[in-house]
Chains A and B, each alone.
Chain A
Amino acid sequence: MNYGPLLFLAAFFALAGSWFGFVLTPQLQLGRLQQTNSIPSGATYPVARPGLAREGLDVYRANGCASCHSQQIGQTATTCDVVLADTGTNQAAMKAALLKLKPDWSDSEARQALGSLPQTLLRGATREEADAAMKTLNVGGAKVQLWIVPGGPDIARGWGKRRTVAEDFLFDYPVMPGSLRAGPDLANIGVRQSDPNWHLLHLYAPRVEVRDSPMPSFRFLFEKRRIERARSPDALSLPPELAPEPGYEIVPRLQAKALAAYLVSLRADAPLFDAPLTAPAPAAPATNAPAK
């Protein structure tokens, strides 16, 4: 029997199956993904990276940063915290409710808790437990908040507040999730290190800011030039053992600035429907009042 055509069909069927499953179906499901809204504020997410950051993505790709850094945050659990923000008008009822929620607390502990707000009353609870606690504490106009808290080793380590999802990579080409963590995960590096100068110094001399870092230096992204009339505002301020000789300064090239802008733009912490999260309240905005 001529097994040749049969063999071809077998192999074709097998490869077609995995092609269908991991090439066609993801494209059908996620290929036309659009911007979504963050929950509950409704802000559009994601917004495209600004131009310099977009160029920085190219520098990231060209220098193979993804060989040592990943950009995927994992999440292994979601729990709820119940936080008391305001006791409302009826202090006595509030204390009674608190003692009902926490029967093992003494009177003085309860009073102490009510004195230092905001107070996290329940941590790591399931949604049902948290809802029940909310109902108990909802007396006399008290402000009780239910926080959704994602959990997992990456999140515990501070690398992110929630897991990364498809929307986080919507506008990027190429998408470089990385596969080895020789260095920290970078999905939210723009939150942890939001100053581009930190990144510029780190690229020039990694061991200045992170002792014993195994990261190589990227000096070719910078140039050493003679100081003309005045020091350039971009010049790096280096420790004496790395500083150039007097009369010279180290200035980042456009590539380094682009890469720093890209790194600063990396954040994946907007609360979404796919990755619910209670975002911390934004800091109070600075006023425009003149300094006293």
Chain B
Amino acid sequence: MNPDPAPSTRSEPAEPRAGRRAVPVWLIILMLLLFYWGMVYFDQRSAWGTASVYTPYRSLADLQKYQPPTASGNLERGKAVYETVCALCHNTDGMGKPNQAPPFAGSEWVLGTPNRMIRIPLAGLSGPVEVKGAQWALAMPAMGAALSDEDLAAVLSYIRQSFGNKASAITADQVKAIRAAVGNRSQPWTAEQLNAIQ
């Protein structure tokens, strides 16, 4: 067998070196343009990380717009009522204000049975109450007593479907039924009384 001349390190090319030429400017400009496009694209479509928003929805407002209608109308009405009536103490982002009002976001009182949640604004709540593991001992006036059934249902639905909450909407019929059951109660609820309600 007559092998080819063996390759050896003495005959191989030198280790490579890299030239110091500059990066073409247009490649850098392209990157900047694509960055800009990327930021706009992300801004338009990502809802900045909101967990409930999946494509094709572009934002939480977009998603809320397409929620099926309840008898009390869509969430825009609820939001309007919320901002007028509740946001002053509970904050526009539903996170509550220390020493003023507990949060709605993730609150068991909001996500649980509507029977308790509807009663609270109808007569108010006073005395110690536990919300998300924290103790609150304030007094809430009956902010919902003056609202119509539709408005109260709309704002309660808004609370149950915003701030990261995902619960069913509340209908005006439900509010009407509870209002009838509560009657002319003037005494605010206490936490024990509400917990007794199923």
Contacts and interface: CB of A to CB of B under 8 A. Distances in A.
Q: Is any CB of A less than 8 Å from a CB of B in the complex?
A: yes
Interface in B12-65: 49, 51-57, 63, 65
Interface of B is mostly: loop
Contacts of A25: 49
Nearest to A163: B54
A274 B63 contact: yes
Interface stretch (B90-98, B134-142, B161-169, B177-185): B161-169
A227 B166 CA distance: 55
Interface stretch (B67-75, B79-87, B118-126, B190-198): B67-75
Nearest to B111: A37
A59 interface: no
A40 B43 CA distance: 31
Interface in B142-195: 161, 166-169
Given A30-B51, A37-B168, A42-B168, A78 B57 contact: yes
A279 to B, nearest CB: 9
B56 A276 contact: no
A39 B54 contact: no
B66 A127 contact: yes
Nearest to A167: B166
Interface centre among B52, B66, B161 (most CB of A within 10 A): B66
A87 B158 CA distance: 31
A84 interface: no
Interface string A1-33: 000000000000000000000000100011000
Contacts, number: 66
B167 to A, nearest CB: 5
Nearest to A274: B52
Nearest to A278: B68
Contacts of B55: 74-76, 163
B59 to A, nearest CB: 13
B54 A37 contact: no
B66 A40 contact: no
A222 B70 CA distance: 50
A154 B165 CA distance: 29
A170 interface: no
A77 B56 contact: yes
A78 B63 CA distance: 10
Interface of A: 25, 29-30, 36-42, 74-78, 80, 127, 131, 134, 146-148, 152, 163, 165, 271-278
Given A38-B168, A127-B74, 12 more contacts: A29-B51, A30-B51, A37-B166, A39-B169, A42-B167, A76-B55, A78-B66, A146-B68, A273-B52, A273-B161, A274-B53, A277-B68
Interface of B: 49, 51-57, 63, 65-70, 74, 161, 166-169
Closest 9 CB pairs of A and B: A42-B168, A273-B166, A274-B52, A36-B166, A78-B66, A146-B69, A127-B65, A276-B66, A29-B51
9 contacts: A30-B51, A39-B168, A41-B168, A42-B167, A75-B56, A127-B65, A274-B52, A274-B54, A274-B63
